[in-house]
Amino acid sequence: MIVLAGTIGAGKTSLTRMLADHLGSQAFYESVDDNEILPLFYQDPKKYGFLLQIYFLNKRLAEIKNSFDNDLNVLDRSIFEDALLFRLNADLGRATQTEADIYSSLLGNMMEELPQQAHTKAPSLLISIQVSFETMLKRIKKRGRSFEQIENDPSLYEYYRELNQRYVDWYASYDESPKMLIDGDKYDFVEDSHAADQVLQLVDDKLTELNLK
């Protein structure tokens, strides 16, 4: 499968839809709008952080299994990001280090239990969208989810700032599969159709390089 990665507001969902339409494959989306735990997490991270990560782990494992039938199926979030996200919550006091350690161990064990098929457990290609912190904040504001807004919780500013930087570091060290980087500030593929065409061409070129298309 092809997997998208990137911080909040990077455009993962939009690019997932674009790629699936372009490639004639199936899109798998992260459960957000129907996720009853997510708003509770923003209200009380220490109480609901671990439960939220288990919820996402369960969903992502199901998506990986369901996507095995086509190397060009597209997932809008990588399971390999989850440990990064929960470790950040622990470092900022929004979860405990013990919870983060248990989650990392559980994630590793669950990945080992995925069925061995002709496909690898890692993606065929990971596409990371990187945006500046300023762009990230503008997009969070624009999409308007009340529980994500800094004016409702000023502590989110530091969380978002640190999250954006950790994604840069995470991509640099990611070695589970082939990868490519999309500059989300240079290519505003959500608002600009020309930029969208350019991004699709970049992905096509990478897939051809990897003999996937």
Mean pLDDT, all residues of the chain? 89
Average pLDDT over residues 95-115: 86
* 41 pLDDT above the threshold of 80: yes
From the CB of residue 76, how many other CB atoms can be counted at a distance below 10 Å? 23
> Is 10 labelled as part of a ligand binding site?
yes
Average pLDDT over residues 89-106: 90
What pLDDT score does 77 carry? 85
* 33 pLDDT above the threshold of 80: no
List the chain domain ranges. Answer: 2-207
Q: How many Å separate Cα 125 from the centre of its chain?
A: 13
Q: Tell me the whole-structure pTM to 2 decimals.
A: 0.86
Distance CA(16)–CA(4), nearest Å, equals 7
From the CB of residue 38, how many other CB atoms can be counted at a distance below 10 Å? 19
What pLDDT score does 37 carry? 92
- Strand order across the beta sheet in which 74-75 lies: 27-28, 74-75, 2-6, 125-130, 179-183
**Level-2 CATH architecture, domain 2-207:** 3-Layer(aba) Sandwich (3.40)
> Is 143 labelled as part of a ligand binding site?
yes
Distance CA(174)–CA(55), nearest Å, equals 24
Give the pairing type, strands 179-183 and 125-130.
parallel
Highest mean pLDDT out of 75-79, 91-95, 138-142: 138-142
Catalytic residues: 76
> Is 145 labelled as part of a ligand binding site?
no
What pLDDT score does 118 carry? 42
